[in-house]
Amino acid sequence: MTLVGWTLVVLLLVAYQRFKALFARQVTADDFKLGESSNVPPVASIANRNFMNLLEVPVLFYVVCITLYATQTADSVAVALAWSYFGLRVLHSLVYLTYNKVAHRLSFFAASNLALAVLWIRLVIELSK
């Protein structure tokens, strides 16, 4: 639920940035007709890209968490990995939405994906027993 909450916070930021650009007359509604035109300010595009990113790989996180719960195979290590994944995704977003240094962003993204991969590997091993 916490990652869902974070994703919704970023979605609100997308709406805020888009309406801000609209009210500042930097864009028109047509600039969003097919996604985003080149008129959309970078701050709005970055927020939207981060939102889309929070809808991509995290789907695998949701599936592994539901599977861990449904199969009653979640242990303290799985819980720690899940919280690590969440924290790393928030850090990834914060870098993305603020100073956006790619090396820092990539570090958090890669670490979160490593935590996710370990969650999946542990689940597969547990279910193979």
Structure tokens given for 13: 């930021």
Q: How much is the pLDDT for 87?
A: 98
Looking at the structure, do residues 18 and 50 belong to the same domain, yes or no? yes
* Residue 41 near residue 26, CB atoms below 8 Å: yes
Q: Which residue type occupies 67? A: T
Spatial distance between the Cα atoms of 112 and 121, rounded to a whole number of angstroms = 14
Give tens-digit pLDDT for 37-85. Answer: 888 888 888 999 999 999 999 999 999 999 999 999 999 999 999 999 9
Note whether 68 and 106 are same-domain residues: yes
Structure tokens at 11: 């979605």
Name the average pLDDT for the chain. 94
Judge contact between 40 and 6, C-beta under 8 A. no
Number of domains in the chain: 2
Please state the rounded mean pLDDT for residues 102-117. 98
Residue 68 and residue 50 share a domain: no
pLDDT at residue 33 in the model: 80
pTM above 0.75, yes or no: yes
**Separation of alpha carbons 9 and 112, rounded Å:** 19
Whether residue 39 is found in the same domain as residue 72:
no
Residues 48 and 63 both lie in one domain:
no
- 46 and 70 in a single domain? The answer is no
Same domain, 83 and 101: yes
Where residue 32 falls among pLDDT bands split at 50, 70, 90?
Answer: confident
Distance CA 8, CA 6 (A): 5
Q: Which domain holds residue 22?
A: 1-54
| Residues 38 and 70 both lie in one domain | no
In this structure, the answer to whether residues 93 and 112 fall within a common structural domain is yes
Same-domain check for residues 103 and 74: yes
Answer yes or no: do 69 and 112 share one domain.
Answer: yes
**Shared domain check, 29 and 80:** no
